Structure 1
Amino acid sequence: MTFTHAAFYRAMNLGHRGSPVRAELETALLEAGARAVRSFQTNGTVLLDLGDAPDDDAADRVVRDAAPRLAERSAYTHVALVRSLGDVAAAIDGDPFALTRDERTYRETLTFVDGGEPLPVDLPWTDPRDLLDLVAARPGVVLGVVRGGPGSGGDPNSAVERFTGGVASTRTLGTVRRLLAAAARA
């Protein structure tokens, strides 16, 4: 298998109401034309092997064609944001969080965004409650640092959607690193 792309589903929690189970998600993507898929966690992060056509258009088409199957089988109707693994790796090249990481850091995040306008704030930007820094913007992704603990921290997904008017889906830096490592081992 050669995984070349990842799909980051928005608001998916495998096995929960309104979301598919792992087998439904993987089957829908295979039926839509992927050669192989690997659902990478319960949060709707999926590796895609597109076979002989591993380009961005093919990846978008597979995810788009899987959407009606997911809606029919599990009532899941949110979107997925598709990125090449090369673009995902480039977003975290080096240590983009080095200047903002401190003892209050709870999570370092990547918020994938499609549509909308560019961020209208200068980066780094800190929310008024000092619970979120948006530290860098790369094509299709905004990097953030969340402070506070579970349920009390900043929300990069909401901030990016509010600022851009686009659709976003956020993953932690740890998830993204594990995703890239899994793709490299496949």
Structure 2
Amino acid sequence: MSTVFVVFYRNMNLGHQNSPDRAALEDALREAGASFVRSFQTNGTVLVKVGDEDPREVVDRAAPRLTAVSGYKDAAIVRPVDHLETILDRNPFAGSTDERTYRETFTFFDGDHDFGAPVPWTNRRGDVDIIEFSQGVALSVIRKTGSRVGNPTAELEARLGVPATTRTAGTIRRLLKASR
């Protein structure tokens, strides 16, 4: 049985300008070698199975087709579903939220980076708390202050200098249920 992976596309909004529609996204990944593809929601989150192949290679092969059909050419970050399940099984947000919490989030990025500050860490505006940082994922609690919502993607991209993309913990929980 092949492992299920998740592809997190950065800045993809299915059917909008410079983003493919659902069919084009799924077709590109199938044509690139995925044996199973299921786009989840409209935010560029996709479940894939690739057999024994490296999922990154499949995603990389699909990229030119996505550019050709829609103009999309941003980052795609791949993670095994099992890794996400392991994180959630630990209940990592317990004790980190309060009445000011707007969302619990996962922010994904590629590479082995040092955060450069002790974690937990809070940004200057006090609307993003990075509570964990390891293995290409940062867990955050974000707050809404006035009409502004904390942005862990922007915080991490500025600190790390690499593309990142964020999903809510609720999305990750629903994604895990859909992967079973």
Q: TM-score, normalization: structure 2?
A: 0.94
Instruction: Say whether 1:93 aligns with 2:92.
Output: no
Contact 1:117–1:166 (CA under 8 A) maintained in structure 2: no
Alignment-mate amino acid for residue 178 of structure 1: R
List per-residue Cα deviations over 1:62-98 (Å, max 9, x = no partner). 1000000000000000011001111121222321111
Q: Which sits farther off after the overlay, 107-116 or 26-35?
A: 107-116
Q: Distance in 2 between matches of 1:3 and 1:149?
A: 40
CA pair 73-151 structure 1, distance change in 2 beyond 3 A:
farther
Identity level (%): 48
Q: Which sits farther off after the overlay, 81-90 or 7-16?
A: 81-90
Q: Distance in 1 between matches of 2:12 and 2:37?
A: 16
CA pair 39-3 structure 1, distance change in 2 beyond 3 A:
farther
Contact 1:91–1:138 (CA under 8 A) maintained in structure 2: no
Alpha-carbon RMSD: 1.7
Contact 2:112–2:136 (CA under 8 A) maintained in structure 1: no
In structure 1, what is the equivalent of residue 105 of structure 2? 109
Structure 2 SS opposite 1:115:
coil
Unaligned runs of 5+ in 1: none
Q: Distance in 2 between matches of 1:137 and 1:91?
A: 12
2:65 to 66, 69, 72: 69
Unaligned runs of 5+ in 2: none
Q: TM-score, normalization: structure 1?
A: 0.91
Structure 2 SS opposite 1:92:
helix
CA pair 69-96 structure 1, distance change in 2 beyond 3 A:
same
CA pair 162-60 structure 1, distance change in 2 beyond 3 A:
same
In structure 2, what is the equivalent of residue 161 of structure 1? 157
Q: Distance in 1 between matches of 2:60 and 2:146?
A: 32
Alignment-mate amino acid for residue 13 of structure 1: N
